[in-house]
Amino acid sequence: MRHFVIGVLLLLAVALPGMLLAPPVVPADDDCKLIDDFSRATVGEFPSAWTPRKDSARDVYTVQEEGGKRFLRAVSEGLGVQAAREVKGWDLTAYPMLAWSWRPREFPKGADERHSSTNDSVLAVYMLVHYSRIAGPKAVKYIWSEKVPVGTRLESNFGLTQVRVLRSSIGGRGEWQQEKVNVLEDYRKYFDTKETPTPIGIAVLTDSDDTKSSAAGDYADFKICRK
């Protein structure tokens, strides 16, 4: 599957036992700016501040709430479709870090992102940079893989999407994890450039189309940070 997000350029729940913990409370931080914590989104609906790549994404991604904390839940049944959020005025020289929380709930059966026939991930987060209206954006994509080792670099969409395996194994199933990555550093390294791009936004993907299975995971507290 070609993992790219054209929509942003043109611009339920699978209940699993023991998964009732809310996303971790992220403390206020003067070094960070909030992108979205879904606090203003309507529970049970696709978040209005986001853009579905296809209409089917409105059923895959819905806002849910646990313990008074809202988050984005993804439930994919044989689908591979992204949801994206525009981020205006993101200056990577000032805010090179992207932070978020995520929780895997159901891993796509038989997935292995190293092969096109099984290229599904329970969780994926993208930083998007404008490239072409036809080919789509350039992207740095961070995934939680079941099998591919942490630190592995992959690519898709003819090299326009550079992939970094951020977490691996099903050991963290049902548990929230906080992430913070230097997207400017990764972009320069993976695309072999010294330029500082201007991001157009972020995207998420929980997919199961290549494995023809199902996948489920949660996302919360997207921020950009100075360090």
Task: Compute how many other C-beta atoms are within 10 angstroms of the C-beta atom of residue 164.
Answer: 18
CB 223 within 8 A of CB 82: no
Say how many residues make up the chain. 227
Predicted confidence (pLDDT) per residue in 30-64, tens digit:
799 999 999 999 999 999 999 999 999 999 999 99
**Of 34, 203, 191, which Cα lies nearest the Cα of 121?**
203
Compute the Cα dihedral for 224, 97, 156, 219 and give only its sign. Answer: negative
Which CATH number applies to 32-225: 2.60.120.260, 2.160.20.60, 3.40.50.360, 2.60.40.10?
2.60.120.260
Q: How far apart are CA 148 and CA 151, in angstroms?
A: 9
CB 71 within 8 A of CB 222: no
Q: How far apart are CA 65 and CA 62, in angstroms?
A: 10
**pLDDT at residue 15, as a whole number:** 29
Kind of pairing between the strands at 161-168 and 153-156:
antiparallel
Predicted confidence (pLDDT) per residue in 93-145, tens digit:
999 999 999 999 999 999 999 999 999 999 999 999 999 878 789 999 999 99
Work out the burial of residue 195: count CB atoms within 10 Å of its CB; fewer than 13 is exposed, 13-18 middle, 19 or more buried.
Answer: exposed
- pTM for this entry: 0.87
DSSP-derived secondary structure letter, 52: E
> What's the mean pLDDT in 81-91?
97
Residue 110: partners with Cβ closer than 8 Å, 6 or more residues away = 118, 211, 213
Long-range contacts of range 186-192, CB-CB < 8 Å, 24 or more positions apart? Answer: 186/140, 186/162, 187/92, 187/127, 187/129, 187/138, 187/140, 187/162, 190/140, 190/153, 190/155, 190/162, 190/164, 191/138, 191/162
Sequence ranges of the domains in the chain: 32-225
Residue 149: partners with Cβ closer than 8 Å, 6 or more residues away = 165, 168
Higher model confidence: residue 223 or residue 12? 223
Q: How confident is the model at residue 171 (pLDDT cuts 50, 70, 90)?
A: confident
